[in-house]
Amino acid sequence: MVTFWDLAIAFIIIVVFFAILYSLGKGERKGKKREALLPFVSGEKYHPMRVPYRIKWIYYVSLFTAFETAGLLVLLAFGAGVLIVLPLIYILIILLALLLAPKE
Amino acid sequence: MEYVIVVLIPIFMIFAFIVEWLERKFVARMQSRIGPLVTGPKGFLQPLADFLKLMSKEEITPTGADKLLLTIIPILQASLVTFSLMFIPIFSPEPILSYPGDLIFIIGLSAIFATLIVLTGYVTPSPYAIVGSARYAELTISFEISYVLSIASAALIAGSTIIADIARFQTVYGPIFIYAPLGFVIMLISTMAKTERVPFDIAEAETEIAGGWQVELSGRRLAFYRLSMDLELLLAISLCVALYLGGGYGPFVDVFGPIMYFVWFLVKLIILVFIVSLVEAIMARYRIDHVLRGFWKAITPLAVLQALLAVIVRAYIL
């Protein structure tokens, strides 16, 4: 049986491994022409600026996936009897996150 | 354990490259092409060569992009998927990491993976990337329920949330695929949508939105994204094998031990890669509204039905 620290150490090892591998790749060269740094727009006229994006999408996806995991937890916990308390606490935390999430 | 993890990471990478090679070969043969041929025997080393080539290419960060996030996200994505793979019993009946509820933990990790893809489009200053990530967000919301319910069906039948235990359960009662064929098919379809395989590649859609959320990625960033997607395919198919096809259990496993276990796992994995490739080769990309409608109106209700049937199977048949 693994402990929380085993999981944490395993994840850190993996992140460090991939960070080292990433650093071995070729980086960015300084002094590139302005044209080379423009985003791809298929010949259209477009200023290099961040598109006004609705951040709500990321909230929707994040909350949806969190609820979905919680839903699964509840579904499976029904068969486990007393363990139902834990998923309910989990859902409560997500609901709190939903309430505290910044409004657009 | 630390040493085993360090050894396993490159092994998983190689395994992911092999899966990509198999997929490319299968699709090519079905389309009367040869596929990868030059690098290595039968083009076996082509995915590795592609990875190394991209790693050696210059990286370009377009004006207005969030450089820090564009650097962190690919590393995190590859790490998350590799971390999830540690919970799958691929090489032996006991995976390197396992604890009660690891199945739910993996689902949570895969949800973070999807969110990171959406975030990639958000931090890139390109209209194509924004459209691509918005499409992926819509796709995620539509396929995730059916994906999770198909996984839950297997867990309900086996009565466990430990992946290794679910695979072991099938040595006694036979593959869960027999009790929940619908769940197996739904999981395979959702897996294809999750890994953006044709006909669900609407978030990339090269001919419409020039690669979608990947459009501004280059060099090592693109190399890492491609590696992550290969690892994600390996993870999703391995999970399917473990949950529905009995993992690596099969005849002669008791006699030959872990080697035979791995051989059986590999055989089942190759069969699933073949099925995925077959669908990829014979189908064209769906329109986004068709995919959303299909998932919400057909596949999700079927997944709910399958979950209910799984409860009945568990209560009255097993």
Give me the average pLDDT of each 10-residue run along chain B (318 residues).
83 92 90 86 89 87 79 91 92 86 84 83 78 83 86 88 89 90 93 86 75 77 90 93 88 80 92 91 85 87 88 81
Render the burial of A52-70: b for 16+ CB within 10 Å, e for the rest.
eeeeebbbbbbebbbebbb
| Interface contact B5-A14, CB threshold 8 A | yes
Nearest residue, CB atoms, A72 vs list B76, B152, B219: B152
For the four alpha carbons of B245, B249, B317 and A71, in that order, the dihedral sign comes to negative
Provide the shortest C-alpha distance from residue A74 to chain B (in Å).
11
Secondary structure class of B203 (helix, strand, coil):
helix
| Interface contact A39-B99, CB threshold 8 A | no
Return the number of other C-beta atoms located less than 10 Å from residue B299's C-beta. 24
DSSP state of A84: G
Q: What is the mean pLDDT of chain A?
A: 71
What integer pLDDT is reported at residue A77 of this predicted model? 64
- Sort A1 into a burial class: Cβ within 10 Å, 0-12 / 13-18 / 19+: exposed
Contacts of B86 in chain A (CB under 8 A): 10
| CA distance to B60, B117, B219, per residue, from B214 (Å) | 13, 9, 12
Residue in chain A nearest B105 by alpha carbon: A69
Instruction: Please indicate if any CB of chain A lies within 8 Å of the CB of B55.
Output: yes
Give yes or no for residue A56 having a pLDDT over 80.
Answer: no
Provide the shortest C-alpha distance from residue B34 to chain A (in Å).
30
What integer pLDDT is reported at residue A2 of this predicted model? 78
- Sort B301 into a burial class: Cβ within 10 Å, 0-12 / 13-18 / 19+: exposed
> How many residues in total does chain B contain?
318
Q: For tokens 């739910």, name the residue.
A: B104
Could you tell me which of B20, B16, B14 has the C-alpha nearest to residue B277? Answer: B20
Provide the shortest C-alpha distance from residue B2 to chain A (in Å).
7
Residue in chain B nearest A8 by alpha carbon: B83
Could you tell me which of A67, A7, A22, A14 has the C-alpha nearest to residue B81? Answer: A14
B22: which 2 tokens? Answer: 């198999």
Rg (CA), chain B: 19
Q: For tokens 């990639």, name the residue.
A: B120
B203: which 2 tokens? Answer: 């978030």
- The verdict on pTM exceeding 0.90 is no
DSSP state of B124: S
